[in-house]
Amino acid sequence: MSFPVILAIESSCDDTSAAVMAGGEILANVVATQQVHEQYGGVVPELASRAHQQHLIPVVTEALRRAKVEKSDLDAVAFTQGPGLLGSLLVGGMFAKSFALALNKPLIAVNHMRAHILAHFIRPPRPVFPFLCLTVSGGHTQLVVVRSPMDMEVVGQTIDDAAGEAFDKTAKLLGLPYPGGPHLDRQAREGNPTRFPFPVGAMPGYDFSFSGLKTSVLYFLRQQTAQNPDFIAQNLSDLCAGIQHTIIQTLLRQLVRAATDLGLTQIALAGGVAANSGLRTALQNLAGEKGWEVFIPDFEFCTDNAAMVAMTGHFQFEAGDFATQLVSPDPRLKLS
């Protein structure tokens, strides 16, 4: 089996995942998504930690079985150190530390945001360094200049909500189930994106802001439903298309500015919101216009998964970047 063989654990939010990688090739990637949060319309941290405790051992066992790897074959154990929910990180982190200690294998502490970006290296086509990555998920929105697997610089980020939160919170205002992003995306395909214009969060530099959009949707819906209680149901597709269009414009405005100023033409998209059909189309159109090469990983590697943690662990293994047993999960871990 190719060297090194790495077991990776991801537990930063509400997905429990384990992956096995050998020599940079992914052999298994098992993800248990927690359904318990749907009824609350958002992730409940305490329930997430408890569900990780239930899922972790079965998920790890299944990943090793699918990869046909014995515990004794492992060369290292990688885990997500942060950022994320503290309780969730603790469950995965404690498991990884105990497992590595019991097997007498080295431990690798991985930054979750770095892992989202390095998901681009799991399968071809792979971007060439340096590239600009827009990471858009339920918890984060960042523009990152990536010079090498270990050399990344955050040049812009959200000052309030993440792009995924903007999708989920506005979808909730429209009465769509949680998480609302995929539902809003589906509805938007039938709608007119310009009938209901909402404000594009225009920040200086390369930062993002989505709280103005959420407030403006809230007030607009209040006003309209006071006159017509069926307003949302009668205009759902156009409302979704208008909201989605605004989120995409907010993201692409800053992406274009950063790429132009920094002279970068290799553009990568990462995180769960990369699944959005409108964003993918708009980005492909921009690529044609600007002469960019655009990279979007397979969907299973865009949402939270341990394969991206294994990929990052692989690069850290090569760089000799190991952690000690004293390493602690860090909910606010920074990328640069």
Comparison of 22 and 279: residue with beta carbon closer to ligand KG4: 279
Q: How far is the CB of 304 from Zn ion (least distance, A)?
A: 4
**Cβ closest to ligand KG4, residue 161 vs residue 238:** 161
Judged by beta carbon distances under 5 to 8 A according to partner kind, the member of ligand KG4, Zn ion, none in contact with residue 182 is ligand KG4
168 binds, among Zn ion, ligand KG4, none (CB under 5 to 8 A by kind): ligand KG4
The one among 34, 80, 81, 137 contacting Zn ion by CB under 5 A: 137
Per rule CB under 5 A, is residue 14 in the interface with Zn ion?
no
Q: Which is nearer to ligand KG4, 4 or 164 (CB)?
A: 164
303 binds, among ligand KG4, Zn ion, none (CB under 5 to 8 A by kind): ligand KG4
| CB-nearer residue toward ligand KG4: 17 or 266 | 17
Stretch of 37-45, 130-138, 206-214, 232-240 contacting Zn ion, by CB under 5 A? 130-138
Is the CB of 238 or the CB of 304 nearer to Zn ion?
304
Instruction: Kindly report the three-state secondary structure assignment for every residue of the chain.
Output: CCCCEEEEEECCCCEEEEEEEECCEEEEEEEEECCCCHHHCCCCHHHHHHHHHHHHHHHHHHHHHHHCCCHHHCCEEEEEEECCCHHHHHHHHHHHHHHHHHHCCCEEEEEHHHHHHHHHHCCCCCCCCCEEEEEECCCCEEEEEEEECCEEEEEEEECCCCHHHHHHHHHHHCCCCCCHHHHHHHHHCCCCCCCCCCCCCCCCCCCECCHHHHHHHHHHHHHHHHHCCCHHHHHHHHHHHHHHHHHHHHHHHHHHHHHHHHCCCEEEEECHHHHCHHHHHHHHHHHHHHCCEEECCCHHHHCCCCHHHHHHHHHHHHHCCCECCCCCCCCCCCCC
Structure tokens at 7: 């077991």
Q: Which does 4 bind (CB under 5 to 8 A by kind): ligand KG4, Zn ion, none?
A: none
Q: Provide the binding-site residues for ligand KG4, judged by CB under 6 A.
A: 13, 137-139, 164, 167-168, 179-182, 185, 271-273, 275-276, 303-304
Closer residue to Zn ion, CB minimum distance, 241 or 270 = 270
Q: Report the alpha-carbon distance of residue 106 to residue 327 in Å, rounded.
A: 12
Strands of the sheet containing 15-22, edge to edge, are: 25-33, 15-22, 5-10, 76-82, 107-111
- Sketch the per residue contact string, 18 through 57, with Zn ion: x for CB under 5 A, - otherwise: ----------------------------------------
Which of Zn ion, ligand KG4, none has residue 185 at its interface (CB below 5 to 8 Å by kind)? ligand KG4
Question: Least CB distance from residue 253 to ligand KG4, whole Å?
Answer: 18
**For Zn ion, the closer CB: 76 or 163:** 163
Q: Residues 6 or more apart from 73 whose CB is under 8 A from it? A: 1, 5
Contact partner, 179, from ligand KG4, Zn ion, none, Cβ < 5-8 Å per class: ligand KG4
Binding footprint of Zn ion, residue count (CB under 5 A): 2
Per CB under 5 A, contacts with Zn ion among 257-316 are: 304
Between 111 and 244, name the residue whose CB sits nearer to Zn ion.
Answer: 111
Residues near Zn ion, by CB under 5 A: 137, 304
